[in-house]
Chains A and B, each alone.
Chain A
């Protein structure tokens, strides 16, 4: 029997495995699926590494811990596109840009000419934008597969089952059976092919009700996302969500009207009531969960904290030690 096992090989489990392996800690990696795929909600992620933009609505730890993830992803996958990210709003919603600016930091204000220089295909479409130069993005599926491949190269294959003295539970929403305060937040997304539009970096289109982001995946392929619905449902996109996302994309650039719809994705993000991640120890099991919409942004930090805890006994910042008394 192994000393340690990781349950779940989605974003949380793969980052955990990568971090432990890098420190020379032995473990078994357990998942009923042998490779990354559509069964995990990280498969449907945007892949934005945008901690400062997320600070608009997320709390401080998300910004700080998220900023550390960019280097981690580059170190372990080499897939990081360090192009920054762009935030725009249409004429009637320009005040949304001011509100966004008040609540975020680490950006530059761009005028029309500067927007055109940065993203020529958006030329003439927006009068003002915010540019977050230190943000980045990556292809989430390629990143998951790279982590999985790196582990396999080290002889760590995903096993359907294994017993161990200590368990690190990274099962995401599937851990609801043990974590009563974990809930699902439904997200719907699209993947489009639109070679008529060339964008080099993620673009967020602000709107009071239907905010949208578009992440370039290369070769004219774009990820469009994502809805946030308080429901644990993991399938079934609605016509309304589809309409809203496509209308927003069309407003960003009318050429998206001619895009080919490649994929429609639906899943639910695992979240605790404050939408912040937690490490929770109960008996011989350590739960690392609640990454919400910040899987790629926060999974490296969560992995590092668990690894530190195992190595030195250091109490993680997001430890939830009062839970047992609740």
Chain B
């Protein structure tokens, strides 16, 4: 089993902590889903004097590994600064590296991402880069020191699912030993299950749960979906077979031809 910098997750669901109706509902979503990782943003909440510390303490109390992120950072320098603060606040070398290139779609700036990944990896961080499905960028991230890749399924918050499944399958095939996480764009548990069926090692999502009418119930649904997809991949599914266009007429023939 592929691990994340030596850590094996209890559950391949990585759940974000933003946008919930309340911290109590957030905690309930984690309890009911058994999510294996909690991601948390620091950039906007940090304030002048670490003003977000009450909320961060609640996240730390969830009892799951915390993956702080650099959401809201648009440059290498911002991302590196935020990562350093995250390491201090949560006492972890893990960092989900986001360097946003486009403010509307929140598409990553992959050039700055590779540079920030190099700087942080050299500084001892264990980087989880939020990237596109581009294989060349993926290789450069690995060379920069990343041991995990997190391609998007679709733009952040869009709920569109796996917009380019072919590319995600390519990624799995090209990097058989690298832990891969589909990060962003997930809307439904079926999207998450599909990502796991493709052999991905985890799925990271936030909006689909936090903005659901019943976030805790949706979190549980996602948990079941990723576990089902993970088991399906491990069980080696059958290949689909197209029966719609028989090469010869079947009437009068033996079925097993």
Interface positions of A (Cβ within 8 A of B) = 57-59, 102-103, 183-184, 186, 208-209, 229-233, 235-236, 238, 240, 271, 273-276
B49 touches A273 (CB 8 A): no
Q: What residue of chain A has the Cβ atom nearest to residue B21's Cβ?
A: A57
**B interface size (C-beta, 8 A):** 23
Binds A, one of B52-60, B87-95, B139-147, B170-178: B52-60
A275 to B213, CA, bound (A): 16
Which chain A positions have C-beta within 8 A of B207?
208
B51 touches A275 (CB 8 A): no
Q: Of A58, A184, A186, A238, which is within 8 A of B21 by CB?
A: A58
A274 to B22, CA, bound (A): 5
- Known contacts A57-B21, A58-B21, A273-B27, A184 near B44 by CB under 8 Å: no
Which chain A positions have C-beta within 8 A of B122?
none
Closest approach, in angstroms, between the C-beta of A3 and any C-beta of chain B?
Answer: 35
Q: Of A235, A238, A271, A274, which is within 8 A of B25 by CB?
A: A274
- Known contacts A59-B21, A208-B157, A275-B22, A231 near B51 by CB under 8 Å: yes
A274 touches B24 (CB 8 A): yes
**What are 25 inter-chain pairs, A to B, with CB distance below 8 A?**
A58-B21, A103-B213, A184-B51, A184-B54, A186-B47, A186-B51, A208-B157, A208-B207, A208-B211, A230-B45, A230-B52, A231-B45, A231-B47, A231-B52, A231-B55, A232-B53, A233-B49, A236-B47, A240-B72, A273-B23, A273-B27, A274-B22, A275-B22, A275-B23, A275-B24
B213 touches A273 (CB 8 A): no
CB 8 Å contact bits of B201-238 with A (1 = contact, 0 = none): 00000010001010000000000000000000000000
A240 to B213, CA, bound (A): 28
Majority secondary structure of chain B interface residues (helix, strand, loop or mixed) = loop
A230 touches B55 (CB 8 A): yes
Q: A186-B51, A273-B58 are in contact. List 13 more A-B contacts (CB 8 A).
A: A183-B54, A184-B51, A209-B157, A229-B44, A230-B45, A230-B55, A231-B45, A231-B52, A231-B55, A232-B51, A235-B48, A273-B23, A274-B23
- Known contacts A102-B213, A183-B54, A230-B55, A273 near B24 by CB under 8 Å: yes
